[in-house]
Amino acid sequence: MARRDRKYRALVLPRFLAEASTDKQLEGPAQNAAYEMVMTWTDLEKSGELIKKKETAFDAQFLEEIFNQSLGYTFATDNPAKYSLERQFTVPGVGAADGALGVFGSGLPRCPL
């Protein structure tokens, strides 16, 4: 496969994949469903379909399907008092990240992991 232009980064970073692959948090049907969802996105990336559109066309759906449905991170709409996934998280001095994982909620400091 040809080396990608730096503008388009890999969907999954290999250095994080190796570490996460040892986590047994998901097993059985939940693991199978998560795997199928990740494979759907992997196939879209491999086929070049993701590059054809702006990243923002997919970011909300990616966060919902991979991090919320597959991995169990929660949005503020799931539990405003305590949630673990925030879309368009502002990083001071840098800008907005597509998403952030952390412990967020009413009265809690906005602190990503």
The 10s digit of each residue's pLDDT in 28-83 is 888 889 999 999 999 998 998 888 888 788 889 999 999 899 888 899 999 889 99
Q: Provide the token pair at 38.
A: 């990740």
pLDDT attached to residue 9: 56
| CB-CB contact of 68 with 87 (8 Å) | no
pLDDT attached to residue 1: 44
Q: How far apart are CA 52 and CA 101, in angstroms?
A: 27
Q: Provide the token pair at 70.
A: 């597959």
Tell me if 67 is assigned to some domain. Answer: yes
Instruction: Determine the structural domain holding residue 50 and report its residue range.
Output: 27-72
Whether 62 and 83 map to the same domain: the answer is no
| CB-CB contact of 62 with 41 (8 Å) | yes
Whether 90 and 58 map to the same domain: the answer is no
Whether 86 and 106 map to the same domain: the answer is yes
Tell me if 3 is assigned to some domain. Answer: no
